[in-house]
Amino acid sequence: MRYLGIDYGTKRVGLALSDEGGNMAFPLAVVKNDAKLNDTIVSFVKEKQVGAIVIGHSLDMKGKENAAHTGAEALMLDLTLATGLPIHLEPEWFTTVAATRFQGKTELKDASAAALILESFLSRN
């Protein structure tokens, strides 16, 4: 099964895709977090024949919900209704920071962060 990984941000959303076997994750795209976000993600889901979605579950340093967490939960509900696919929340801390250190400040850092989130999920499942 192919998985779509999502690193939700209030301005940009990183997307990553697994291989068909669900073994490896690859950065896919960075999209704007705007009114078309759900439609954009649903298009990727259909085009790439995704079977499940993994969304980064972001908390602040005190373990409390932050703006990204609240937005990610809303996105999860919207995508559940729009796609009917299983959606998993994956704990994530500093994935964008790690992606920046690994890859540098590139356009794809949010997609790389999504790949790290997805890799974490795939390695345990």
pLDDT, tens digit, for every residue of 52-93? 999 998 776 677 776 677 889 999 999 999 999 999 999 876
DSSP 1: -
Cα–Cα distance measured from residue 48 to residue 45, given in angstroms and rounded to the nearest whole number: 6
Number of domains comprising the chain: 1
Supply 52's token pair.
């499940």
Domain that holds residue 110: 3-124
**Greater pLDDT, 108 or 117:** 117
Positive or negative CA dihedral for 26, 81, 8, 61?
negative
State the CATH number of the domain containing residue 85. 3.30.420.140
Say what the pLDDT of residue 107 is: 66
Whether the full predicted model's pTM is greater than 0.95, yes or no, is: no
Whole-angstrom distance between the N-terminal and C-terminal Cα of the chain? 12
